[in-house]
Amino acid sequence: MRLVNHLIVRITLIFSVIMLLWTVVYLLLQMREIHVGNDEGLINLKQEFIARSNRIDGFVETMEKQSPLNLAVREITQQEAEGILEHFVTTTIWFATEEEREEVRMLVSAFRCERNEKFYRLEFFTSTVETDDLTKNMLYLVCGLWLMLTLSILAVSRTVITRANKAFYELLGELDKFHLDNSKMIALPQTRIREYVQLNQSVKELLERVIRSFTDQKIFLENSSHEMQTPVAVAIAKLELLLEKQQDQPENAAEIASILAILNRLKRLNTRLLLLSKIKNNQFPDVREIDLGKLVDEILVDFRELAEYKKIAVTCEIDEASVCRMNEDLAYILLSNLIKNAITHNEEEGSVAIHVTRDHFSVANTGTEAATQVFDRYRNDSHNRESSGLGLSIAKSICDLYGFSIGYSFEGGMHRFVISF
């Protein structure tokens, strides 16, 4: 989960719960207030009624007879009156006008009229329909408010957090793009937030150190490989001369020849390391359109005798004129390495199938078991001492340089390398 979303969800959830609690408390308080208001109204009505009854002759009797909408008066005995404790009830009554029962709040009480000395039971009521409506409206309003606030918090926290973390995400994006091979410093995002300024600074220093040591190492590797060429050249030349002189001494000659063989291995290894480091440093700037089909044909001519000698049937299928932009020498090195690999690491009387399409190059050869970590340097499953073990690693580097993907698979007894351009 993204940090921003994580924060937003947390903040919004917490705030919405807090606001929900507040809303409930507010609603309950408001409803209580409304009920208390109703009840007070009924008590006022009762007091007014009793006052009028005591002041005006025949008021009670008239009221008892007329039975107005909001009260009911009934004469009772003193015992009954003493049994009535003033209280409120919520009940329903039949309203003839509305032709339905409605919920009402009712005050039940009893009193003794001072005018005629009689006891009466009093019922005052008021419809709660309106207050219910009011409560309902309030509920809607409050819920709406709650929703609006939640949404606002969501929007505000989102904006604020995203803005505040912009530098952080930009830095992450830049770090993602960072590649040691091109040794280019990333663009640090502008920010005023102190922690991010600090983070920028630390990242900058770290990357600079990494780039510097990587570059140093690269230069060192290249220089030392270069410097080694001349002494090796001298040693090889001198030994070849010595070999000439020792021709009639077979034992010495064989000894010298074995040293020469070792020096030659060193030389080849060195050449390949130099090539690898040059590919990684992109020192092959001369890029042009390469006709892969034509190139494959040329390479196959070079390897024809080798394939014949190993009794390997090479089939080549070139679908469409596949053209890709790359350095000519690297294209040759790439394809010839793969094809050579398929021919040499093959079974007796095996086969090699090459397939070139518009955006793929694949080469498959017969084999017994799947190889692992084929692109690693010095990985050499065949334990062949003469192989530098760098061929496939070079192929991989070339593909990386041009953004091609190269894959290896083993199925149906065939090793297969596929390059997608």
Partner 1 sequence: MKILIIEDELALMQAMEEFLVGERYVVEKATNFLTAMDKALMYDYDCILLDINLPGGSGFRVLEEMKKEGKSGNIIIISARNSLEDKILGLDSGADDYLTKPFHLSELHARIKAVWRRKQMDGKQNLQMGNVLVDFVERTVCVDGESLNLNRKEFDLFSFFATNINRLLSKEAVAEHVWGDHMDMADNFDFVYSQVKNLRKKLKDHHADTVVENVYGIGYKLTI
Positions touching partner 1 (CB under 8 A) are 226, 229-230, 232-238, 240-241, 243-244, 247, 250, 253-254, 257-258, 260-261, 263-264, 267-268, 271, 274-275, 278, 283-284, 286, 301, 304-306, 309-310, 327, 329, 332-333, 336, 340, 344, 382, 384, 386-388, 390-391
Q: Is 253 left (phi over 0), alpha (psi -120 to 50) or beta?
A: alpha
Q: How far is the CB of 266 from partner 1 (least distance, A)?
A: 9
Rank residues 60 and 343 by Cβ distance to partner 1 and give the closer one: 343
Q: How far is the CB of 388 from partner 1 (least distance, A)?
A: 5
Tokens encoding 193: 């937030």
Q: How far is the CB of 296 from partner 1 (least distance, A)?
A: 16
Q: How far is the CB of 257 from partner 1 (least distance, A)?
A: 4
Contact between 382 and 332 under an 8 Å Cβ cutoff? The reply is no
**Cα gap 373→34, rounded to integer Å:** 80
Contact between 190 and 171 under an 8 Å Cβ cutoff? The reply is no
- What are the beta bridge partners of residue 351? 313
- β-pairing verdict for 351-356 and 405-411: unpaired
Rank residues 118 and 278 by Cβ distance to partner 1 and give the closer one: 278
Q: Which amino acid is at 181?
A: D
**Cα gap 278→114, rounded to integer Å:** 120
Rank residues 112 and 265 by Cβ distance to partner 1 and give the closer one: 265
Q: How far is the CB of 243 from partner 1 (least distance, A)?
A: 6
- What are the beta bridge partners of residue 313? 351
- β-pairing verdict for 405-411 and 414-420: antiparallel
Contact between 339 and 315 under an 8 Å Cβ cutoff? The reply is no
CB-CB neighbours of 187 under 10 Å? 11
Rank residues 251 and 411 by Cβ distance to partner 1 and give the closer one: 251
Rank residues 7 and 330 by Cβ distance to partner 1 and give the closer one: 330
CB-CB neighbours of 178 under 10 Å? 16
Q: How far is the CB of 397 from partner 1 (least distance, A)?
A: 14
Tokens encoding 176: 């993602």
Rank residues 142 and 335 by Cβ distance to partner 1 and give the closer one: 335
Q: How far is the CB of 171 from partner 1 (least distance, A)?
A: 38
Q: How far is the CB of 181 from partner 1 (least distance, A)?
A: 19
Q: Which amino acid is at 344?
A: T
H helical segments located in 56-128 = 59-66, 78-83
Rank residues 339 and 354 by Cβ distance to partner 1 and give the closer one: 339
According to DSSP, residue 181 is labeled: G
Rank residues 30 and 252 by Cβ distance to partner 1 and give the closer one: 252
* H or E element in which residue 224 lies: helix 194-245
Q: How far is the CB of 176 from partner 1 (least distance, A)?
A: 33
Contact between 410 and 416 under an 8 Å Cβ cutoff? The reply is yes
Rank residues 71 and 276 by Cβ distance to partner 1 and give the closer one: 276
Q: How far is the CB of 202 from partner 1 (least distance, A)?
A: 39
**C-alpha dihedral, 91 to 94 to 98 to 100, nearest 10°:** 80
**Cα gap 170→57, rounded to integer Å:** 90
Rank residues 25 and 241 by Cβ distance to partner 1 and give the closer one: 241
Tokens encoding 126: 């008021």
